[in-house]
A = this chain, B = another copy of it.
Amino acid sequence: MAILVLRIGHRLVRDDRATTHLFLAARALGADIAVYSGQKDLNVETSLNKVKKAWGGSFKLDYTHSWKRFLEDHKSQGWKIIHLTMYGLPMKSTINDIRSDPANKVVVVGGPKVPSDVYEIADWNLSVTNQPHSEISALGVFLHELFEGNELLKEFTHGELTIIPQAKGKKMTRQTSTQASS
């Protein structure tokens, strides 16, 4: 089951850090692909590419001009759509159905002004609490539930840096490749 995170309506400068945090969370917590619509932002793309180079893994980042066509295309190819929204049904009542459905999934993350079409096209409108918080924490908790904690064991290969977990302080190893890339 591939998991793709779609961020709608990205704005240059204003959303730079929030979208970067969102995609780093997506990557670290087991999603395979992130896609965004709105204003194209080289800052976000550069940040993500730097992290991927340093820390490894196969996470992909892409951009779409039209989130609506993107969702319709994916739906017609059998993907299911999950929309994270404080107005949706509680995660506890929906997560089992989502987990047991083998289809690839798009997880849509909007913002305060999500077009009503998103609610309609979604197979699940899902709330991680019905309180306002952050799309970043909502995505984190959702992915953690979806993968039942196994995302924390995910390995990221072909990176330059690896942390050796410590009770106190920091320990990190750096891999220096002696092979020329082909």
| Closest Cβ neighbor of A83 among chain B residues | B168
| Closest Cβ neighbor of A21 among chain B residues | B134
Would you call B29 and A87 a contact (CB within 8 A)? Answer: no
Copies in the complex: 2
- Chain B residues lying within 8 Å of A82, measured Cβ to Cβ, are none
Query: What sequence of 0s and 1s flags, for each residue 163-182 of chain A, a beta carbon within 8 Å of any chain B beta carbon?
Result: 10111111110000000000
Give the shortest distance, in Å, between A175 (CB) and chain B (any CB): 15
| Closest Cβ neighbor of A55 among chain B residues | B131
Q: A141-B29, A141-B141, A169-B119 are in contact. Are A87 and B132 (CB under 8 A)?
A: no
Query: What sequence of 0s and 1s flags, for each residue 112-139 of chain A, a beta carbon within 8 Å of any chain B beta carbon?
Result: 0000100110100101111111101111
Q: A92-B152, A165-B127 are in contact. Are A170 and B87 (CB under 8 A)?
A: yes
Q: A152-B92, A169-B87 are in contact. Are A27 and B163 (CB under 8 A)?
A: no
- A residues apposed to B, CB below 8 Å: 17-18, 21-22, 24-25, 27-29, 51, 55, 57, 86-92, 116, 119-120, 122, 125, 127-134, 136-141, 144-145, 149, 151-152, 154, 156, 162-163, 165-172
Q: Can you sample 11 A-B contacts with CB below 8 Å?
A: A22-B134, A24-B137, A27-B131, A28-B133, A51-B132, A120-B168, A122-B168, A128-B152, A134-B136, A138-B140, A141-B141
